[in-house]
A and B are shown apart, each in its own frame.
Chain A
Amino acid sequence: MSERPVPPPNPVSAGFWEAARRHELVVQRCECGQYRHYPQVLCPDCRSANWTWARVSGRGEIYTFTVTHRPFHPAWADTVPYAVATVELEEGVRMVSDLPPEDTEAVRIGAPVDLFFDDQGSFTLPRFRLAR
């Protein structure tokens, strides 16, 4: 089975992946209090450049999803159909994650999810699965 695409970090986002390696989920939090994701230089609300990595709960729910039957990348050729979800965290930010195979049938908009970490060798993906 071929490998997943490797996330190519940039100077602003590197801390997200370093935290994931430690099995921590972090997003940027501006000095004005706003959480934001994906990583960017300035806060779009107050334009401040002062932010820190903030650990977040990993609790959220499915905002939307698609169950993919045609593999668009060889890494998923043996695992179709698989669900890709857009997850909205309690902190208000959204993240994308594929769900584990056992969730493909049950995935629904609004379903609560839990966080887990998927070590891929050279990198670690924070991922989500339906809450049990």
Chain B
Amino acid sequence: MSQARGCAIAGIGNTAYTRGTDRSTLELHLEASLVALADAGLTPDDVDAVLPSTSAGRGADEFILNLGLRDIAFAPSAHMGGASLLSSVQNACLAIDAGIASCVLIPAGRRGYSGERISTGQGVVDTVMATVREFEQPYGNMGAAQWFAQAAQRHMYQYGTTSEQLGHVAVTCRAHANLNPQALMHGKPMTLADHQASRMITTPFRLLDCSLESDGAGALVITSADRARSLGRGQALIAGVGESHSNVPTSVTQKPDMSIVQSLQVASARAFAMSGTTIAAADAVLIHEGFTWYVIAALEALSAVKPGEGGPFVADGNIRLGGALPVNPHGGALSEGHVSGVNHVIEAVRQLRRTVEPARQVPDCANVVVVNEGNFFDGAVLVLEKGEL
């Protein structure tokens, strides 16, 4: 982008997050899209770009037909798995900056509980899976939990990271979810002892190290910052955005150093170069975390801490609300819901708008960093800043 802060997230919307639904993924996406447009003070007639989610199997045609979109000028899909959302945010900014589009709709989310269960690896449909299908799945290395577990195991070996430290991430996210009535795990407190007693899934991950399989969708509406201000929705300025496609993009097991998420280091450096800030400016970090370990790895990749210091950092309470660097004040994918990371962006916007429940409002929140993990350690980062109404 030629100018940072030239675009804003003008509208946000989401469905309820559930475990079980009789609605299709498309129906969920359409509901979230209408809510987000209304939130921005816009209608489907204003939309001239729609960026569908490949992770959810969606295409532009479905939105054009169902929302009666009249003239779509731009409709690329990102192919970055869990980082597709922020990759699409970057595409939206590029299109707006280039004058190709002026109002970009980005729907996301899936039926991770009622549709293709996330844990089976079948949620990923991209051809990028071909190598794992040929050389890893015949050996029982089936899905994301096992891929991330092997990375976490390596991190523990190299740095002495412990299961209890992973547990602190789970407990923190759960505590935050208990301040958030829309979180799936609201009203279900968790202690570190609960975490340690939960059944083993794949070492070192216990059940409570794994994100929720949930149904739901969210949507973002992106416009120029000027237009967002004219709509009274200029609070969430896009200060920086960046993505990076990792070295050896088809399998986590082939990363030169599996204990670090190198693409996230690069993506965050790009986003921070655009915003002119660093992680030190962040009032909160929203990390789309499939597993507890990823929060630790992401904090290290963002240079919030040095490699290997993430475990002690989370165990010391730094990522709690009120801590040095609050992470996932909504509860995250671990405890609010796994909605392809769109709920993390929505929370970031609500924090900047000051519209979350007071108990989990980050005081004076003016800078939020959002992190997406994508296929096999691809990464994308978004820096949002508080702007004028």
Residues of B within 8 A of A117 (CB): none
- Complex interface residues of chain A between 81 and 132 (CB less than 8 A to chain B): 81-82, 84, 86, 94-98, 109, 123, 125, 127
Question: In the docked arrangement, what's the CA distance between A72 and B118, Å?
Answer: 11
Closest B residue by C-beta to A86 = B253
Among A9, A64, A68, A95, point to the contact of B202 (Cβ < 8 A).
A68
Question: In the docked arrangement, what's the CA distance between A64 and B152, Å?
Answer: 9
Closest B residue by C-beta to A108 = B157
The 0/1 profile, CB within 8 Å of B marked 1, for residues 55-96 of chain A is: 000000001111111101101100001101010000000111
Closest A residue by C-beta to B151 = A64
The 0/1 profile, CB within 8 Å of B marked 1, for residues 28-67 of chain A is: 0000000000100000000000000000000000011111
State whether the Cβ of B140 lies closer than 8 Å to any Cβ in chain A.
yes
Closest B residue by C-beta to A81 = B200
State whether the Cβ of B95 lies closer than 8 Å to any Cβ in chain A.
no
Q: How many residues of A contact B (CB 8 A)?
A: 34
Among A6, A38, A123, point to the contact of B135 (Cβ < 8 A).
A38
Q: In the complex, are the beta carbons of A64 and B142 less than 8 A apart? A: no
Residues of A within 8 A of B140 (CB): 4, 68, 72-73, 75-76, 82, 84, 98
Question: In the docked arrangement, what's the CA distance between A73 and B137, Å?
Answer: 9
Do A13 and B153 form a contact, CB below 8 Å, given A69-B202, A76-B140?
Answer: no
Residues of A within 8 A of B204 (CB): 66
Q: In the complex, are the beta carbons of A69 and B150 less than 8 A apart? A: no
State whether the Cβ of A10 lies closer than 8 Å to any Cβ in chain B.
yes
Among B119, B139, B142, B150, point to the contact of A125 (Cβ < 8 A).
B139
Residues of A within 8 A of B201 (CB): 68-70
Question: In the docked arrangement, what's the CA distance between A127 and B136, Å?
Answer: 11
Closest-CB distance, A116 to chain B (whole angstroms): 13
Residues of B within 8 A of A75 (CB): 140
State whether the Cβ of A8 lies closer than 8 Å to any Cβ in chain B.
yes
State whether the Cβ of B141 lies closer than 8 Å to any Cβ in chain A.
yes
> Beyond A9-B134, A72-B121, A72-B146: 13 further Cβ-contacts under 8 Å?
A5-B137, A6-B138, A7-B133, A38-B135, A38-B250, A63-B154, A66-B149, A72-B119, A72-B140, A72-B142, A84-B141, A98-B141, A125-B138
Supply 28 A–B pairs (Cβ within 8 Å), ascending by A: A5-B137, A6-B138, A7-B135, A13-B134, A38-B134, A38-B250, A63-B154, A64-B150, A66-B146, A66-B150, A66-B153, A67-B200, A67-B202, A69-B199, A69-B203, A70-B119, A72-B145, A72-B146, A73-B137, A73-B140, A73-B142, A84-B139, A84-B141, A84-B150, A86-B150, A94-B253, A98-B140, A109-B157
